[in-house]
């Protein structure tokens, strides 16, 4: 039976954008609070969200700073983590239509969620629609980060002490859902953790150990489709 035309997913850039806005806002609050909890100044937390606009790598940067990693290893690790957006931009490229929005502006907003929301709806994507979705997502991310930083100043001492776990709780929230859906992903995840731990025990600086364990385990497990495809 063919689905009726009106039951097909419809393109709704504002609806998609608002959904992402609320999701991003709450996660960004956690980012703002944890940035403050490790002692970063407001301008650093805000500029990471304003200029980088890539949630997972911003959490990673804060965590690496807290663990004492150097600036260059954080930048390299960010490159490794965010190179996946190459695949997403590539997939969107042939579907974007219209010439009203400069491509470099559209490129800035290609996040996992913006891509995911557009990938699940078939058909062309007018460039103005994509920009609307991206702008709403951006507003949620930047607004939430600032709100989180400000809110972090009103927390009681015991909560402030406990905030160190916030980042890692966030990582748990990121990694558990894909592993529950595809349990085999647990193997490369655990392998990366064990490798990182072993490299740090062997005396490697934190940043280098993270970088090496993340890229080595991903590229090795990618050799075997069995472990690297859902």
Partner 1 sequence: MSNVVLLVVGMTAVTYVPRLIPLMMSGRHRLGPWQRRTMSLVPITAVGALLVPGGLSAVDGRVDLSAIGIVAAVAITVTLRQPFLVVVGSVAAVALAITLGL
Q: Which of residues 8-47 bind partner 1 (CB under 8 A)?
A: 23, 26-27, 29-30, 41, 44, 47
Q: Least distance from C-beta 113 to partner 1, angstroms?
A: 12
Q: Which residue of 42, 191, 204, 208 would you call a contact of partner 1, by CB under 8 A?
A: 191
Q: Which stretch binds partner 1 (CB under 8 A): 5-13, 118-126, 135-143, 169-177?
A: 169-177
Q: Which two tokens stand for residue 62?
A: 């804060």
Closest CA to 66 of 88, 30, 29, 34: 34
Enumerate residues 6+ apart whose C-beta is below 8 A from 37. Answer: 152, 160, 163, 164, 166
Q: Which residue of 16, 21, 57, 118 would you call a contact of partner 1, by CB under 8 A?
A: 57
Enumerate residues 6+ apart whose C-beta is below 8 A from 126. Answer: 96, 97, 98
Give the residue with the Cβ less far from partner 1, 121 or 227: 227
Q: Contacts with partner 1 in 203-222 (CB under 8 A)?
A: 206, 210, 213-215, 217-219, 221-222
Q: Contacts with partner 1 in 69-108 (CB under 8 A)?
A: 71-72, 74-90, 92-94, 96, 103-104, 106-108
Q: Which residue of 16, 20, 48, 137 would you call a contact of partner 1, by CB under 8 A?
A: 48
Numbers of helices and strands, H then E, in the chain: 13, 2
Q: Contacts with partner 1 in 115-144 (CB under 8 A)?
A: none
Crossing angle (nearest 10°) for helices 166-181 and 13-37:
140
Q: Count CA within 13 A, CB hemisphere, residue 99.
A: 0
Q: Least distance from C-beta 101 to partner 1, angstroms?
A: 11
What sign does the dihedral 33-35-39-44 (CA atoms) show? negative
Interaction of residue 151 with partner 1, rule CB under 8 A: no
Strands 125-126 and 96-97: parallel
Q: Least distance from C-beta 96 to partner 1, angstroms?
A: 8
Interaction of residue 175 with partner 1, rule CB under 8 A: yes
Give the residue with the Cβ less far from partner 1, 62 or 136: 62
């Amino acid at each position: 039976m063919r689905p009726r035309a009106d039951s097909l997913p419809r393109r709704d850039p504002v609806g998609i954008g608002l959904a992402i806005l609320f999701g991003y806002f709450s996660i960004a609050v956690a980012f703002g609070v944890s940035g403050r909890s490790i002692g970063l100044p407001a301008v650093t937390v805000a500029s990471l969200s304003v200029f980088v606009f890539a949630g997972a790598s911003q959490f990673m940067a804060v965590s690496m700073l807290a663990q004492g990693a150097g600036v260059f290893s954080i930048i390299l690790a960010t490159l490794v983590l965010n190179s996946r957006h190459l695949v997403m931009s590539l997939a969107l490229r042939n579907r974007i239509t219209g010439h009203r929005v400069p491509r470099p502006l559209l490129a800035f907003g290609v996040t996992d969620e913006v891509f995911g929301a557009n990938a699940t709806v078939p058909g062309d994507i007018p460039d103005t629609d994509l920009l609307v979705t991206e702008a709403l997502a951006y507003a949620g991310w930047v607004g939430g980060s600032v709100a989180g930083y400000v809110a972090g100043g009103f927390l009681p001492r015991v909560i402030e002490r406990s905030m160190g776990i916030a980042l890692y709780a966030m990582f748990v929230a990121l990694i558990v859902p894909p592993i529950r859906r595809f349990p085999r992903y647990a193997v490369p995840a655990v392998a990366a953790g064990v490798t990182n731990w072993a490299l740090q025990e062997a005396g490697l600086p934190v940043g280098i150990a993270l970088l090496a364990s993340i890229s080595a385990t991903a590229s090795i497990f990618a050799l075997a489709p069995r472990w690297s495809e859902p």
